[in-house]
Amino acid sequence: MSDRFQVDLAGMVDLLSRHLYSGPQVYVRELIQNAVDAVTARRALDPEAPATIRISTGETPAGEALVEVVDTGVGLTAAEAAELLATIGRSSKRDPSLGLGRAEFIGQFGIGMLAAFMVADRIEVRSRSAVLGAAPILWEGRAEGTFEVTELAANEGGAAEEIPVGTTVRVIARAEAAHWLAADTVLGLAREYGSLLPFDISVLVPVDGDEPAWRRITEPELPWRVEYRSRGERSAALAEYCERTFGFTLIAAIDLELPVAGVSGVAFLLPQAVSPGSGQHRVYMKRMLLGQRIDRVLPDWAFFARAVIDTETLSPTASREQLHDDELLMTVRDALGAQMKQWVTETLRSPSGLARRVIEVHHLALRALAVTDPEMLELVAEVLPFETSDGVMTLAEAAARGEIVYTSTTEAYRRVAAVARAQGLAVVNAGYVYDADLLQRLGSRGGWRVRELESADLVQILAVPSLARELEVADAVARARDLLETDDCDVIVRGFAPDSVPAILLRDAEGEHRRDLDRERDEQPDLWGGLLDGFAEERAARTRTLVLNDDCEVAQRLLAAPAGEVFAAGLRSLYLSAVMLAGEGLRGSETTAFSGALGVLLGAALGAPTGSALDRDQGNDDGPQRPEEER
């Protein structure tokens, strides 16, 4: 003999509330959805049937909080109520041959009613079926797991025939869940879930000093489907909708339309850059809100947009709060991505204020897009500005000048930019996320000559002087380092081209020079002995390095100069011209120091008295050249 499964209702409800749904608030959604499905079913039988849903809150005579949802839907017979309302997993909305939800209904799983028990102590369903001659019924279910069905005629005297076709669901709260049934909570939730549903749904709201009033919460049309007199009017309405729904002022709205998959919507471009992986979208399913943080609706690279879509075909998970990541979703995601790509291509190809703004704010997203898509790669190479040692330009512009040489980190770029600039070599800073990948891909396409800056380029750029020369200038270098200590700047001597540039300034954000020193020491451990160890330690503490060009006569003469005011003034002049060569402007105190130093040099040459800047340089650390802020 076989037995039937028993269900512990309290246990099931606990399971739902803790592990399936995000919280008890979904009970409002389930009630509205059942009412909408019932109205849809009735309209299928009788297209002229009324289609209204009324939601109100109140109290039972015993003071328990209650929510009542009244629909003019298809209703339930006594047998249907007994079978459907209390059988977990039983739904009238599934197609028996396919085992899937039927296209016209939102519900399909047969568990929605249980959600109400997350807040309810009891649920009463009064209903009259649209089936001709059906008697009105009352179904009462209790949280402890019992229910009964009675015919209202027998229960409530002669009023039965006056009861119209439709259903009234009354949820009576457990004391500790009563706040979920408060008037403004229910209004807020009904709006959140139901505002785009295609029926007249109204909520009874309290009015200060007056009788409560019905307020319609549904909009007659999807915001992106409303017809306006002009494009401008439509744009303004969408901007307002975006502000209201997502809380930001859009840069642009991109229409999304996929009729074959029953998907439509709009993607709003965010007004500021966001990090990848934050693409979260608002999804409606048959015009009922599924969730406001749904990912995977658009491709990963579209993280610079927030979309709102309505879908008739994508499948919800049983919680009805996420989408099934199935093949259909993948196809939809790709198709919506293609529409966004088309918009991006068209917008960026024709120069406009909008194109500039999109590039300025969302260049990172465009880089991400270029990495995944060869067509976008060409577009990005044409329109995206890159920092190069020859100024800001697009990759297409850089390519027009010859081979593109890039560094894959910004630190490496900062280190070599000044040297490269001094030598007329254009180096592209490919330090942003995706850049190195992007340039590599570009390099593997026909017609582009691209390569990463190699260490061989660097060795060629900065030549280490011989040991003898290093020892010869050691004293001058030590003096120079003392003089530039307050500028947070180290001093080294190297040879590099062109020999017309006496000095360049390197940044040392990652201790690159320390590594250089380590390498040099490793190569010639005996010769250098402990000499470099001391240097390395102290040098690592300074964030910039002045490289004096040992191939340049001016620098050579400075290194040969005796200690004194001319040496200090000469060093300061070279330092400040290197600051300018590195693309940094001079601060006020530096401009003063520059003219002071020139004054000293001219004075020395012309025999006039020396200037005050030199005195400051040769004095101790409280000189005016001390950096007031980080460079």
Ligand X SMILES: Nc1ncnc2c1ncn2[C@@H]1O[C@H](COP(=O)(O)OP(=O)(O)OP(=O)(O)O)[C@@H](O)[C@H]1O
The verdict on whether residue 550 carries a ligand-binding annotation is no
Among 34, 40, 56, 625, binds ligand X (CB under 6 A): 34
Give 318 or 554: the residue with its C-beta nearer to ligand X.
Answer: 318
Q: Which stretch binds ligand X (CB under 6 A): 72-80, 460-468, 483-491, 585-593?
A: 72-80
Binding of ligand X by 73 (CB under 6 A): yes
Give dist(CA 313, CA 25) in Å, integer: 25
Give 40 or 389: the residue with its C-beta nearer to ligand X.
Answer: 40
In the complex, minimum distance from the CB of residue 133 to ligand X, in angstroms, rounded to a whole number: 18
User: 3-state SS string over 324-388?
Assistant: CCCHHHHHHHHHHHHHHHHHHHHHHHCCCHHHHHHHHHHHHHHHHHHHHCHHHHHHHHHHCEEEE
Q: Is beta strand 100-101 parallel, antiparallel or unpaired with respect to 288-294?
A: unpaired
Q: How far apart are the first and last CA of the chain?
A: 86
Give dist(CA 402, CA 412) in Å, integer: 21
In the complex, minimum distance from the CB of residue 95 to ligand X, in angstroms, rounded to a whole number: 12
CB-based contacts of 513: which residues, under 8 Å, 6+ apart?
Answer: 490, 492, 506, 539, 545
The pair of structure tokens assigned to 594 is 């520059």
Give 112 or 495: the residue with its C-beta nearer to ligand X.
Answer: 112
In the complex, minimum distance from the CB of residue 202 to ligand X, in angstroms, rounded to a whole number: 16
Instruction: Spell out a b/e string for 219-235, using b for 16 or more CB atoms within 10 Å of the CB, else e.
Output: eeebbbeeeeeeeeebe
* 3-state class percentages of the chain: helix first, strand second, coil last, to nearest 5: 45, 20, 35
CB-based contacts of 52: which residues, under 8 Å, 6+ apart?
Answer: 39, 71, 72, 199, 200, 201, 202
Q: How far is CA 370 from CA 429, 434, 439, 451, in A?
A: 17, 9, 10, 18
In the complex, minimum distance from the CB of residue 196 to ligand X, in angstroms, rounded to a whole number: 18
Give 68 or 512: the residue with its C-beta nearer to ligand X.
Answer: 68
DSSP codes of every residue in 109-122: SS-HHHHGGGTEEE
* Cβ pair 148, 125 in contact under 8 A: no
Please report, as residue ranges, which positions from 90 to 119 form the binding site for ligand X (by CB under 6 A). Answer: 91-93, 107-113
Return the number of other C-beta atoms located less than 10 Å from residue 516's C-beta. 21
Give 92 or 610: the residue with its C-beta nearer to ligand X.
Answer: 92
Give dist(CA 398, CA 555) in Å, integer: 32
Q: Which stretch binds ligand X (CB under 6 A): 27-35, 45-53, 370-378, 445-453?
A: 27-35
Q: Which amino acid is at 492?
A: I
The verdict on whether residue 52 carries a ligand-binding annotation is no
Give 92 or 345: the residue with its C-beta nearer to ligand X.
Answer: 92
Q: Is beta strand 137-142 parallel, antiparallel or unpaired with respect to 120-128?
A: antiparallel
Q: How far is CA 544 from CA 474, 555, 584, in A?
A: 19, 18, 13
Q: To 10 degrees, the CA torsion angle through 235, 239, 240, 243?
A: 170
Q: Which stretch binds ligand X (CB under 6 A): 69-77, 298-306, 517-525, 560-568?
A: 69-77
Q: Is beta strand 288-294 parallel, antiparallel or unpaired with respect to 281-285?
A: antiparallel
Give 198 or 385: the residue with its C-beta nearer to ligand X.
Answer: 198
Q: Which stretch binds ligand X (CB under 6 A): 8-16, 66-74, 439-447, 585-593?
A: 66-74
In the complex, minimum distance from the CB of residue 111 to ligand X, in angstroms, rounded to a whole number: 4
In the complex, minimum distance from the CB of residue 70 to ligand X, in angstroms, rounded to a whole number: 9
Binding of ligand X by 30 (CB under 6 A): yes
Give 105 or 301: the residue with its C-beta nearer to ligand X.
Answer: 105
Give 13 or 369: the residue with its C-beta nearer to ligand X.
Answer: 13
Print the binding letters for residues 161-190 with ligand X: x by CB under 6 A, - otherwise.
------x-x---------------------
The pair of structure tokens assigned to 243 is 């502000």
In the complex, minimum distance from the CB of residue 116 to ligand X, in angstroms, rounded to a whole number: 9
Q: Residue count at the site for ligand X (CB under 6 A)?
A: 24
In the complex, minimum distance from the CB of residue 411 to ligand X, in angstroms, rounded to a whole number: 55
Give 94 or 479: the residue with its C-beta nearer to ligand X.
Answer: 94
Binding of ligand X by 71 (CB under 6 A): yes
Q: Which stretch binds ligand X (CB under 6 A): 84-92, 155-163, 332-340, 510-518?
A: 84-92
Tell me the HSE value of 576 on the side-chain side, using a 13 A CA sphere. Answer: 22
In the complex, minimum distance from the CB of residue 78 to ligand X, in angstroms, rounded to a whole number: 13
The verdict on whether residue 300 carries a ligand-binding annotation is no
For residue 498, whether the previous peptide bond is cis, meaning omega lies within 30 degrees of 0, is yes
Among 13, 26, 38, 428, binds ligand X (CB under 6 A): 38
Binding of ligand X by 85 (CB under 6 A): yes
Among 16, 35, 138, 417, binds ligand X (CB under 6 A): 35
In the complex, minimum distance from the CB of residue 360 to ligand X, in angstroms, rounded to a whole number: 45
In the complex, minimum distance from the CB of residue 327 to ligand X, in angstroms, rounded to a whole number: 22
Give 93 or 616: the residue with its C-beta nearer to ligand X.
Answer: 93
The verdict on whether residue 34 carries a ligand-binding annotation is yes
* Cβ pair 51, 39 in contact under 8 A: yes
Give dist(CA 332, CA 339) in Å, integer: 11
Name which of 366, 365, 392, 362 is nearest 380 in CA terms: 366
Binding of ligand X by 202 (CB under 6 A): no
Q: Which stretch binds ligand X (CB under 6 A): 28-36, 175-183, 231-239, 488-496?
A: 28-36
Q: Which residues are annotated as a binding site?
A: 30, 34, 71, 167
Q: Which residues are annotated as a binding site for ATP?
A: 30, 34, 71, 167
Residues that bind ligand X (CB under 6 A): 30, 33-35, 38, 71, 73-76, 84-85, 91-93, 107-113, 167, 169
